[in-house]
Amino acid sequence: MSANQSSTEVTLSNNGPYGTMSDGRQVDSFTFKNKNGMEVTVLTLGGTIAQLLVPDNKGQFDDVTLGFDNLEGYAGPTNRFFGCIAGRYANRIGGGTFSIDGVTYNTPKNNGENTLHGGKEGFNKKVWDAKTDNNRLILSYVSADGEEGFPGQVTTHMTYQLTNDNEIIISYECTTTKPTPINLTNHSYFNLAIKDKVVPPIYDHKVCINAERYTPVNEALITTGELSLVEGTVFDLSTPTHLSLDRLDEVPGGGYDHNFCIRGPTGRRHAARIEHETTGRVLDVFTNQPGMQFYTGNFLGGFPGKSRANYSKHTGFCTEPQVFPDSPNKSNFPDSILRPGSTYKHEIVFKFSVTA
């Protein structure tokens, strides 16, 4: 894989205003297009991937990511983090509290007794500054010290690229003025079976996750601190496995919403492969992070999305590379604390292809 593609073959267009937030902030959109006809549209609101056009095995292009037709949807209460960045801390922080160097911090409890995806107004709800550089889209945001209860002023740069190998490359870089937890990811919901804007359940997808361990959770979906083997359990997705309704019903909670510990040496690793046999579409996920949350849309609940499609339970899946959930409260988990003088670096690659 390489981002060294000819600038004449991958184009990036500034589409201008997409809409205006209730407080007057303007949201813009940008569209990438490569030589294969693949298109990706990104909003400055939360770095949201709002459209993702990829071909099937007959050459038909469909938008395979869930979302809305307008800004009101993305900014409104029915948005389930469609396509956006999740942060400062993606996933859950148990009890909405953590300690660093003996100092305790409290963050908003927006998911029962827990903090989810950065709190009540995380990075997904921010309008980011945008600039383009050699067909890269660079979005930037400065999070104030104390925002959502997190310490330190954090400066984040989020870069999007599209290659002629049908890869979306998302890179994150953060610096901070105080020690603070950082865990960023992309929260796109994919459905490789979408055709002519019809969104069926994901039951005929196959998934393979490069993990021999996962992190079990309690009833509140907070990790217990264990690193359990997947072998012999419903969490064994190490070989291609159909996401049938029967399979998802076997998982506590009616589907996957669990972090898998990605195998391999430090650096970019193959995290997952998801396939849909009928359309021939394939998604491969790569990351330099130690974990990946796999979520099967268990909490989607019957509201209209794009083209009035009904997004009900199990109509999309998320592959969210990350550190392990609740790492600030689990001493045996990977360290998620960013300190002054260091730089957080995270790269995600979503690579699309087609089988015959």
Binding annotation for beta-D-galactose: 91-92, 187-189, 257
Q: Which of 117, 148, 167, 187 is catalytic?
A: 187
Examine the residue annotation and report whether 219 is marked as an active-site residue of this protein: no
What are the residues facing 156 on neighbouring strands? Answer: 141, 174
- C-alpha distances (whole Å) from 216 to each of 97, 231, 256, 317 are 20, 13, 11, 19
- Please tell me the distance from the alpha carbon of residue 309 to that of residue 289, in angstroms, as a whole number: 33
- C-alpha distances (whole Å) from 184 to each of 42, 73, 78, 116, 354 are 17, 23, 22, 12, 29
Q: Which residue has the tokens 């209730």?
A: 22
Q: Which of 147, 167, 275, 320 is catalytic?
A: 320
- Please tell me the distance from the alpha carbon of residue 284 to that of residue 278, in angstroms, as a whole number: 17
DSSP 195: B
Q: Residue ranges for the binding site?
A: 91-92, 187-189, 257
Run of H or E residues at 74 = helix 71-75
Strands (E), 85-239: 85-86, 92-93, 97-100, 103-106, 115-116, 129-133, 136-143, 154-162, 167-176, 180-181, 185-186, 205-209, 211-215, 228-229
Examine the residue annotation and report whether 187 is marked as an active-site residue of this protein: yes
Q: Which residues of 51-72 are buried (b: 16+ CB within 10 A; e: fewer)?
A: bbbbbbeeeeebbbbbbbeebe
Q: Is 321 helix (H, G, I), strand (E, B) or coil?
A: strand
Which residues are marked as active site? 187, 320
